[in-house]
Structures are given as structure tokens and as C-alpha cells.
Amino acid sequence: MKTANENNKTDKTSLNFIEAIIEEDLKNGKNDSRVHTRFPPEPNGYLHIGHAKSICLNFGLAQKYNGKTNIRFDDTNPTKEEVEYVDSIKEDVQWLGFQWDAEYYASDYFEQLYQWAIQLIKEEKAYVDDSSQEEISKGRGVPTSPGIESPYRNRSVEENLDLFQRMRQGEFPEGSRVLRAKIDMASPNMHMRDPIMYRILYAHHHRTGNEWCIYPMYDYAHGQSDSIEGITHSICTLEFEVHRPLYDWFCKALRIHHPQQIEFARLNINYTVMSKRKLLQLVQEKHVSSWDDPRMPTISGLRRRGYTPESIRNFADTIGVAKRENVIDISLLEFCVREDLNKKALRTMAVLDPVKLIIDNYPADKVEYMTAVNNPENPKDGVRNIAFSHELWIERSDFMEDAPKKFFRLSIGREVRLKYAYIIKCTGIDKDENGNITAIHCDYDPQTRSGMPDSGRKVKGTIHWVSATHAKTAEVRLFDRLFHVPNPDDADEGKTFIDNINPDSLKIINAYTEAEFLHTDVLSNYQFERMGYFCIDKDSTPEKLVFNRTVSLRDTWAKKHT
């Protein structure tokens, strides 16, 4: 496995291989020295973090070279595509911080593509094939020996034109005929063995309705769509490298503007799956609540989880672009969000696993307001006042009965500082009949209030707390990895990635929080001091906030699982 920086540029001024190609083209005045990229999602699901890499790359290159980027929906497969997906894709791209210069749909070009198909038929570069799907794939054969030409390959231009027009009119049933490019049945590249250009499909299309019953295949639609839009550099993932000769063949055969296809390695991350088909299965089979479930690697899931656009863009930047497939460690993504939230998130105190702390020498009816810093990384965020009183909630794990010497938190006889407040000394505990601790007793030292002249006494530990009478209750959703193995697709015989789902990926608890939050808008980010980064979920109500844990403060996964 590769980690963070192996693909990274060695220094900020060196170019990645795509930038090198673009700079060479600019130097040579190719494409009138324009740079025009596109992001071409198929609207058959929500975007995931892999798409984010492609978005950052395409839009980033245009920004760097003063060019343009289109968004184009590759909507040539009507049975799987929906408007809901189109809307979510646009929202996600904009949320990431990018704005396209133009919005197009491959379906905008159906008529032009059809006319071009007629042109290819007239030039004897395409033919209607009546063979079945099985006969066609059998005829293609295997790469090591030439395939067999279809018996329909040498039809006359007139017959091909007639049949193709009638395919469009809806005269033939689905699967009965296809239009194929006439290229080379002996090519060692299987994609060049008379690839299918059109198939018959009686399906309703989310934009063209029932206007068409023949639909272009990806390979016939993609390059020409790029060409129509004047795209200069058509960036795609590595699996399309073997399609490139076909991309080039269509542009040449049609004598149209010829963009350059450039392939890069797709992003893979461990402990997750990243194909839309699998993500859809997780949603449909209710392994997660929705596409934007915070455990999903979708952009909408990461957003709901509390990831910021900057953290995702930084991640994309850090991993860089490579020509070889590799797997990025998920902890790098987590590192990027921690780094960003450390700068931005407002601090607050919340107790996730509470136990009562009773300050016996503090008057029962007294309340003091302690000054707390909202964000030590950003003084402009100011301070707030938090109530302090006789009874507090503290974290159960901050007390230990038989504590080892190096446990710098509470144990009978030991001292800690309550953050923003006083030093206290633990004096005893209460237990129920089962031996569970129900309360911890302590005394405070009035001379040690934070901000007072140094009392000369230092303690090693500082713990967080909330005032029991003032605290509010919030629901907190603690997420763990959705899969408990690094490569979920690597399943045992007869099993699938579904069997690798981590059964404990969501834990819902009630926590005690400070009484007030500066912002309560959905997605507001907070650091719960000492506990991690959390954000407000859309399920919150005026009565009860719901928080999602974005990430813990430190990487605890490795510790827990090795």
C-alpha cells in the first residue's frame, strides 16, 4: 500500500504528467492555446470521493491554465439514470467549490450523433448487424486470434441506411439489431473489433422522454461529445486507456475536432467501496440509511459527516495524480479533515459517557461563569461564559479507582484541573449495590481559578466538564468504519463485500453538552474538547440537537485494532 506522499510532486514547482502534457500543448499553440476540460458523470448515483478527485483535477487544471470546465451528464443509459442524481451531482460539485462554465448532456447530442452515424454508414464505416448478443461476442473471439466477421458485415449502404432509419422509427424489437462500426475484426484490441455504436432500447429517458428508441453506446457518444464542446484534454481513469484507439478512430473517421484523451489512476481508499453500483446496493439493502449516510464515501455523506470542501480539496491535492493504480490509506483523508477543522471548528465541552462529579466544598446554590476560548487557533472567534456549579458531569474514563502512577486524571487523593475553572482533589466515590460508580466526590481550591494570579501549584491533567444543572442533552452519533477489513471486495469464497460490513459502525448515545451553542445551523462544526470533531446533523430539532462525529482528535483505529 502507498501512503500520503508517494505520488506527490517532489516540490511545488514540478509538474504532474498531465500538466506537462498541457504545457507542451500550450507551447506548441495546439487548440489555439486553449485549455478546456470537462467533468462527465453518469447520473446513475451520487458522487463519491473518487469523483471528487476527478472534479478537483479537471476544474483545477482549468483554473491553473486560465481555461474552462464543462459539466456533462453522460446520460446514454436511460434505464439507470434519474433526475435526482443529476441534482445531487450539481449540488456536490458546487459545494466542493467549483462552478462549471457550461452544463451539457450527452442526450443534447443524440440528433447530431445520429447524423454522424448516417455519415459513417454512407462511408461504409458502419453497418447494421442482425446477430444476437451472443453471436456478436462469440464472433469477437479472443485477443490472441482474429475474430470472425459477421455475415451482415458487407451489407450495401442502401440496406444499412434503410435498416438504421427503421431502427430509429421503432420497427424492430429490442435486441434484434445493432449498429456496429466497421473497423478490424483481427485487431489485438478487442474494442476495435467492430464495436457496437447503437442498440435498440424502448426506455423512457429522463430528458428526451420517448423520443428515442435507439441509444448510443458510451464509446460512440463520449469522444464526439467532447469534440462538440471543443474539449482540449479529456481526462479519464485508467480503464479507458484501451478505449483510446476507438476514441481516436471516431474523431478521425468523422473528421471532427480531436480532443486528447489522457488517463490517470483512479482513487482507491481502503476500508471502503467506491463504485456507484455497490453504493446503490448499500442504500437499497438498507445497510446504510441513505446516499448521504455519514458512513458513506459519497460527497454528500462526507458533507453530512462534517467534512469541509477545503479538507477534500486538500486531500485530492495531497494524493496528486498517478499513472499506476494504488490504494490510499483512509487515515490520510481523516488527517486532512482534522487539520482543517483544527483551524475552523469552535470549541465546546461535551460529556459523552457521563458520571457525576460533586464538589462538596462548593456551595450548592452558587453559580459562577467561567471564560472559555472559542477557538485558540482564531482569536477573532472570541470567548464565551459557561456555567460552573456544585455538580458537574465529567467523562467516566477520567476517573480510575486503581490508577497507575502515570494516570494523570482523577483517582482518590489525586488532583486535576477542571478546564477553564479550578483545581480539584478527589476525595471519594459512591457506588450502587452492583459496584458501579454513581458519583465522584471532590473538593476545589478557590485560589486556583483559571485566569487568577498563579497559585504556584501545577497539576498534570486537565479534564473537561459541564454543569449538571445547566447541561443540555444531545444525541451523538459515533461512526466507525463501514467495513472492518482494508479491502472489502476481497471476500471469502461465496461471499461479497456485503459480508465485510462492520456490524458496529454506528453507535448512538446521549451526551451532556454546554447549554448554548454559538451556531446551531446544520453542518456547523465543533470540536468537543478532548473528544473529537462533531457537526450538527439535519435530524436536529429545536428541542434536541443531533451531532455526528466527524473524526476523533487522534487516530485511535490503529490502537484499537492491532
* DSSP assignments along 280-330, one per residue: HHHHHTTSSSSTT-TTSSBHHHHHHHT--HHHHHHHHHHH---SS---B-H
Q: Residues 370 to 409: which contact Mg ion by CB under 5 A? A: none
Nearest to 244 by CA among 189, 296, 176: 189
Complex with ligand ATP: residue 233 or 276, whichever CB lies closer? 276
Q: Residues 30 to 59: which contact ligand ATP by CB under 6 A? A: 40-42, 50-51, 53-54
Q: Residue 237: which of ligand ATP, Mg ion, none does it interact with, CB under 5 to 8 A by kind?
A: ligand ATP
Instruction: Give the separation between CA 172 and CA 158, rounded to whole angstroms.
Output: 18
Q: Residue 128: which of ligand ATP, Mg ion, none does it interact with, CB under 5 to 8 A by kind?
A: none
Amino acid at 218: Y
Backbone angles phi, psi at 560, to 5 degrees: -70, -30
Active-site hit among 53, 180, 244, 276: 276
Nearest residue to ligand ATP, using CB?
A: 50
- Tell me: does residue 42 bind Mg ion (CB under 5 A): yes
- Per-residue binding letters, 73-92, with ligand ATP (x by CB under 6 A): -x------------------
Q: Residue 258: which of Mg ion, ligand ATP, none does it interact with, CB under 5 to 8 A by kind?
A: none
Q: Residue 266: which of Mg ion, ligand ATP, none does it interact with, CB under 5 to 8 A by kind?
A: ligand ATP
Instruction: Give min distance, CB of 249 to ligand ATP, in A.
Output: 20
* DSSP assignments along 330-350, one per residue: HHHHHHHHHHHHHHHPEEE-E
Angle between helices 110-122 and 218-228 (to 10 degrees): 110
Among 266, 356, 470, 484, the residue binding ligand ATP under the rule CB under 6 A is: 266
Active-site hit among 23, 42, 82, 149: 42
Contacts of 153 (CB under 8 A, 6+ apart): 127, 129, 182, 194
Q: Are strands 383-389 and 367-373 parallel, antiparallel or unpaired?
A: antiparallel
Nearest to 479 by CA among 557, 559, 397: 557
- Per-residue binding letters, 219-238, with ligand ATP (x by CB under 6 A): -----------------xx-
Instruction: Give the separation between CA 79 and CA 131, rounded to whole angstroms.
Output: 23
Complex with ligand ATP: residue 275 or 496, whichever CB lies closer? 275
- Tell me: does residue 275 bind ligand ATP (CB under 6 A): yes
Instruction: Give the separation between CA 32 and CA 22, rounded to whole angstroms.
Output: 12
Instruction: Give the separation between CA 548 and CA 525, rounded to whole angstroms.
Output: 10
Stretch that binds Mg ion, among 35-43, 139-147, 340-348, 429-437 (CB under 5 A): 35-43
Complex with ligand ATP: residue 54 or 348, whichever CB lies closer? 54
Residue entry with cell 474523431:
251
CB distance 254 to 283 below 8 Å: no
Nearest to 205 by CA among 40, 75, 89, 73: 75
Complex with ligand ATP: residue 299 or 424, whichever CB lies closer? 299
Q: Residue 356: which of ligand ATP, Mg ion, none does it interact with, CB under 5 to 8 A by kind?
A: none
* DSSP assignments along 28-63, one per residue: TTGGGG--EEEE---SSS--BHHHHHHHHHHHHHHH
Complex with ligand ATP: residue 228 or 274, whichever CB lies closer? 274
Complex with ligand ATP: residue 93 or 163, whichever CB lies closer? 93
**Catalytic residue status for 153:** no
Residue count, binding to ligand ATP (CB under 6 A): 15
Active-site hit among 80, 90, 199, 266: 266
Complex with ligand ATP: residue 55 or 372, whichever CB lies closer? 55
- Tell me: does residue 259 bind ligand ATP (CB under 6 A): no
Instruction: Give min distance, CB of 477 to ligand ATP, in A.
Output: 26
**Catalytic residue status for 42:** yes
Contacts of 20 (CB under 8 A, 6+ apart): none
Instruction: Give min distance, CB of 276 to Mg ion, in A.
Output: 7
Amino acid at 440: I
Report DSSP state, residue 370: E
**Catalytic residue status for 168:** no
Complex with ligand ATP: residue 51 or 338, whichever CB lies closer? 51
Instruction: Give min distance, CB of 51 to ligand ATP, in A.
Output: 5
Instruction: Give min distance, CB of 42 to Mg ion, in A.
Output: 5
Which residues lie across from 132 on neighbouring strands? none
Catalytic residue ranges? 42, 266, 276
Q: Which residues bind ligand ATP (CB under 6 A)?
A: 40-42, 50-51, 53-54, 74, 236-237, 266-267, 274-276
Q: Which residues bind Mg ion (CB under 5 A)?
A: 42
